[in-house]
A and B are shown apart, each in its own frame.
Chain A
Amino acid sequence: MYAFGYHRPTTIDEAVTLLGQSEDASAIAGGQTLLQSLKQRLAQPGELVDLGAIKELSGIAVDGRTVVIGALTKHNEVALSSEVRKAVPALADLAGAIGDHQVRNVGTIGGSVANSDPAADYPAAVLGLGATVETNQRRIAADDFFIDLFETALEPGELIKAIHFPVPKRAAYVKFAQPASRYALAGVMVAETGDGVRLAVTGAGACAFRVPAMEQALAGDFSADAIKGVQVDADELNDDIHGTPAYRAHLVNVLARRAVEAAR
């Protein structure tokens, strides 16, 4: 780990100011990616701005139509929230399957979404449920948020405040966890929402993506059989020692069918 300065602001404005003061400042939320990169000496921020003391960033609010989760809310808080479980059980399930207890007790939804790791679980929920990302500057629709590998629509100085999840009619998340890391080798969130069927995939590509062909098939017939023959193109998918693009493409179909069957 390299030496760095450490700040713990209590307001968003203060945090943004601190981040703007130094070219190599970095915000830290739960730190489940950043701390590892610091320990491995891959990151060398001059200043760390810890968002953990900004109270307004934390918490869960549920009304009949929307679940609003503050950016600093920890995975286990979402997983164990009876309100979330009642409103969007798929979201609570997803949060409860992230990493292990240690990660879930520290990692945050805002950190995960802003990082946009190709194998993270939350991006599938944001995209699959058609959520809105609220930042200190604007509101960004999920469809516009995830750009590419570790790249999002967030601009410098822009911090996620909360994620707004519309409550779907039914939804499910099914994940195939790589056993060593428990990251998603592939994960599928399917949801029947007021705006139609949405199906988002994580783990398989550069970032979370939707599968329009499956969505269209499911719009007419929300059943596993409806998408039996709908394959995603393996060409663009990730390749690593845990699985080939062909395997991931195959898994997406299998998991999508299982998610449709599990949706509630």
Chain B
Amino acid sequence: MSADQHHQKKVKTTNEEREAQRQRSIKKLAEYKGLCSLVSAKRKAKEYDDAAFNLTTKLLSLNPEFYTMWNFRRQIILDRRTRMDTEAYQALCLSELQLADAALKINPKSYWVWNHRRWILENMPEAAWTRELKLLGRMLDMDARNFHGWGYRRYVIAASGARSPKEEFDFTTEKISQNFSNYSAWHYRSKVLVQAFADPAERAKVIDNEFELVRNAIYTEPADQSAWLYQRWLLSLVPQDMDRWSKELESVQELVEIEPESKCKVIMQGQG
């Protein structure tokens, strides 16, 4: 908000202004179309020059969903690599990550952009994992249920080994406490739990806590499926533990008494 709040225009949008707006859109569209045909021509001619590279930058900033252009861009990058020293190539890759950052701001669920990031990281001399983790933290803060973000996180952690399974387990605890209606977080939790707690005694203790956690989620919001799924997965870890199974059944029965109409009754019958 500008500080100059006083001299606000009082006029409403007039017809002339609306027309001017329309003309601007038409102009914009023509520019975009012109750009598309220019880049396509370059691609068909296999011209991997600077002009082609700059045109793809411009085009992809306007429309990150144009996946053919990401492919063309990678062809140009590979071509350039042959003529570059490692340092310059590393710098080029970093600037590619910045371009992808900007594109994700426009659409955080774009397959092509996530794919481009991954390709860059796999093809750059020194993969910038710390930068990626920072970005991922911010992305999941903004939208904790972006499954692209979660999938990519698993990839980055596996490829970089930057964080231990225990740290990742704690990360899911944080995200679940912010919003437990989150399939991605529960799913990731199940993956890292097994890695983080290998010792049987320790794992048994953790699993006890997990049953308690999931019970809290279920009692808070029985209609939310994600917690029920996690409970089912937990039970699959202890198929022979009859005490545990009957304890869980009891808890569900108690819930059905408070909520006779809820769907969890069906779940109980299914599990029983």
> Do A and B interact with each other, yes or no?
no
